[in-house]
Amino acid sequence: MVSPSHPNGTEIGRLDGKVVVVTGASKGIGKATAFAFAAAGAKVVLAARTRETLEQVAVALKKNGAQALAVPTDVTSVDAVKQLIQQTLDVYQHVDILINNAGIGHFGPVVDFEPDDWDAVLNSNLKAVYLCAKYALPSMLEQGSGQIINVLSVAAKVTFQASSAYCAAKAGALALTKVLASEVRQQNIRVTAVLPGSVHTPFWDGVPEHPDFEQMLTPEHVADTIVSVCQQPPGMVTEEIVVMPPLGIL
């Protein structure tokens, strides 16, 4: 059976030779996204803080025949992000796609929320998006193409009690995404915000009261959405996409 192709002759759905950096790649959406990109033929660079789990993902990808590079990274650190991108360039010479997925959540009412927790949430969900984009962009600008996808949350648009820092960070990251898109669109770099609803991931492990896991999206739902955006043909941009469970906000 012959696979369908675009008019320019490229096979639909294939990302062969593309170099993809995925943050938060050791679990949840990031891990599922890494596997989805590998299945489409991409070379995957895995970034997360925990070396052991990150290397386990890399080993599993390689067993499936994928090219994978694990780079333990604190994406809130300037030096660590610089090293992530430099190591990617040393091994693969360029960066085609950046998936900003890493992020944490601390929750509680404003009056009880600790400043250190506030800083941690803003740094991981907002500052890290800026840092990774900043240092990945020179490679994309040099080659005249690229894709940045920021995995955010419906919390960027819908507020929830006891989620002030998380909502503020995601809303800020959505604004950052829009500004970045306007700055680099003329250089053939596509920037997309993906806003999932509730997803059954380890994110909920520390939340005592949570929606029904059975009603949530799976990490694979979001991963497939992310990859499909990168598979879209030249000449179009999906700037924002909301992915929700069938029952909506849980």
pLDDT band at 202 (very low <50, low <70, confident <90, very high): confident
Q: Are 49 and 74 in contact (CB under 8 A)?
A: yes
Residue 3, pLDDT score: 40
99 touches 23 (CB < 8 A): yes
Whether the pLDDT of residue 1 is over 90: the answer is no
Q: What is the 3-state secondary structure (H, E, C) of 25-91?
A: CCCHHHHHHHHHHHHCCCEEEEEECCHHHHHHHHHHHHHCCCCEEEEECCCCCHHHHHHHHHHHHHH
- Interatomic CA distance for residues 165 and 152, integer angstroms: 13
Q: What is the pLDDT of residue 243?
A: 96
182 pLDDT exceeds 70?
A: yes
| pLDDT higher than threshold 90 for residue 163 | yes
- Six-digit token string for 219: 């990490």
| pLDDT in the model for residue 203 | 77
The predicted model gives 211-218 an average pLDDT of 84
pLDDT confidence bin for 73, thresholds 50/70/90: very high
Note the pLDDT of residue 206. 63
243 φ, ψ (degrees, to nearest 5) = -120, 115
- Tell me the per-residue pLDDT of 40-67, one tens digit each, with 9 for 90 and over: 999 999 999 999 999 999 999 999 999 9
pTM, whole model, 2 decimals? 0.92
The predicted pLDDT at position 249 comes to 80
Q: Please report which confidence band the pLDDT of residue 8 belongs to, taking 50, 70 and 90 as the band edges.
A: very low
Q: What is the mean pLDDT of residues 7-31?
A: 83
Q: Which domains does the chain possess?
A: 19-243 (3.40.50.720)
Question: Is 154 within 8 Å of 195 (Cβ atoms)?
Answer: yes
Tokens of 215: 């009603």
pLDDT in tens, 75-119: 999 999 999 999 999 999 999 999 999 999 999 999 999 999 999
Say what the pLDDT of residue 14 is: 86
| pLDDT(18) > 70 | yes
Catalytic sites, residue numbers: 166
Give me the mean pLDDT over the 149-163 stretch: 96
What is the helix (H) or strand (E) element at residue 137, kind and residue range? helix 128-143
